[in-house]
Structure 1
């Protein structure tokens, strides 16, 4: 067995090498991608390049093994989102702006020459956006920035970013400014204003309630005094009894007090005549 292996070792080596060469000579190109073939680091041709007519060159493509390399790029629309970009409006408000960008690679050779692949493309767009947002949105008021279309600034921004992206072989199809929110400082100021307004409203409601309660108590006291005065004229004996009961309440109102009052009076005192049934 060992002898057979030794005899055919060279054949196995050449078969393995032939398989590796065959695999490195074939590139499978999907319909949704375009491929740049590089020879010793220089682009030589593009497979399935984007075409507005929709023509496709996808399939199996041959290349020189080990000498040529295939760089795969997207062929369709791609999206990039930049969230919470800081912008200061013309009226001095700090805003956080979300931006959504839709783009397509239209010159894959240029993109590969500039960036090598798509890995750095989003970073390039992200680095260009803040200055463009400040230039286009800064002259506008916060209210204008928050309007649909952002006072026409979104279209101008798309043109600015597209001009920058064309240098990378990319076309910016659409740019939309999404959520526009106050910055942290503005949010804190808004919260403090709302809190102060809430406290003022609570104080106003409390003062109104206190005044209403005092007025109600005064009305009740006046009605009670009128009733007592009326009853004193109609039934003097009952009024005398009521006065005695109220005096007992004032004296012994708090039986749990540490030093409750003590009254020493004889049993036949007129003060106790109501308890004696007199």
Structure 2
């Protein structure tokens, strides 16, 4: 009866040892087998691996592409116009043994890679102007930065796949000065536009006044011509009438004078009764009643 517990213990020990000797690597991982800190085996393909229980251990590392987000970095381009650059990178572990020997953990690797990337950013962006950084030339600059960082990252067993610049802004202390300068420039342009507008308005107004004077002068000239022709025609008619019947013409002219002189509501004439003005108002003239 005492043999059964012993057998159970032995079987449990065998099962535990068997399970401890097996490790599994999925497609997202790669692993190394360590014995007292020394690398004994590397497994980069997914599947089942074996190790010596209790003596050997397994360290897992990512096989996927990993992100690297750096903190904003202040750089000084060739034109001495400081910029704050925000960049990020994508990387992966290509040599897990060298990676283990160089940095051991992914956290330590990120810290080293950030320093490498910042150094590459300063070196490459320091050779160009700020206008190049914010222009279409940025793509070639990012390729240069990635190539420079890739060389330094190989010592860590890491490959830098891509580097991108999210944005490049002026430092906060320079934003106000830049805004004031841009505002002053826009104010100057607005003042120039207003001055040009006023000048154009005065020019248009002067031209309109000149044309108005010309039109009024032309209209007055034509009116005087028409009035002169009418007066000439009237005088001609009067002359013809006078030539046909002088006495009737004189009578008509006197009646017109009476009408004009007595047209007001309170018209008063102080004239001698014997005046020629009343010639046609007399009762008798030459023995005949008018």
CA distance in 2: counterparts of 1:37 and 1:149, whole angstroms? 46
Aligned counterpart, 1:29: 25
Does the CA-based 8 Å contact 1:111-1:168 persist in structure 2?
A: yes
Does the CA-based 8 Å contact 2:116-2:153 persist in structure 1?
A: no
The one of 159, 163, 176 equivalent to 1:171 is 159
Root-mean-square deviation (CA), in Å? Answer: 3.2
Residue 136 and residue 203 in structure 1: after superposition, are their counterparts in 2 closer, same or farther (change >3 A)? closer
Does the CA-based 8 Å contact 1:85-1:97 persist in structure 2?
A: yes
1:156-235 alignment runs, 5 A limit:
156-194=144-182
Residues matched between the structures, number: 195
Does the CA-based 8 Å contact 1:27-1:60 persist in structure 2?
A: yes
The one of 138, 142, 145 equivalent to 2:126 is 138
Structure 2 unpaired stretches of 5+: 193-290
Residue 37 and residue 196 in structure 1: after superposition, are their counterparts in 2 closer, same or farther (change >3 A)? same
CA distance in 2: counterparts of 1:146 and 1:105, whole angstroms? 31
Higher helix fraction (1 or 2) = 2
TM-superposed deviation, 1:93: 1.5
Does the CA-based 8 Å contact 1:26-1:63 persist in structure 2?
A: yes
Aligned counterpart, 1:63: 51
CA distance in 2: counterparts of 1:133 and 1:171, whole angstroms? 17
TM-superposed deviation, 1:19: 4.3
Give CA deviations for 1:12-39 in whole Å, capped at 9, x if unaligned: 6555544443332121110121111111
TM-superposed deviation, 1:203: 10
Does the CA-based 8 Å contact 1:96-1:180 persist in structure 2?
A: yes
The one of 41, 55, 65 equivalent to 1:77 is 65
CA distance in 2: counterparts of 1:149 and 1:26, whole angstroms? 53
Does the CA-based 8 Å contact 1:81-1:99 persist in structure 2?
A: yes
CA distance in 1: counterparts of 2:28 and 2:170, whole angstroms? 40
CA distance in 2: counterparts of 1:22 and 1:149, whole angstroms? 59
CA distance in 2: counterparts of 1:149 and 1:36, whole angstroms? 42
Using the size of structure 2 for normalisation, the TM-score is: 0.58
CA distance in 2: counterparts of 1:47 and 1:149, whole angstroms? 42
Aligned counterpart, 2:36: 40
Give CA deviations for 1:235-257 in whole Å, capped at 9, x if unaligned: xxxxxxxxxxxxxxxxxxxxxxx
Aligned counterpart, 2:276: none
Q: Which protein has the larger Cα radius of gyration, Structure 1 or Structure 2?
A: 2
CA distance in 1: counterparts of 2:162 and 2:186, whole angstroms? 43
Using the size of structure 1 for normalisation, the TM-score is: 0.60
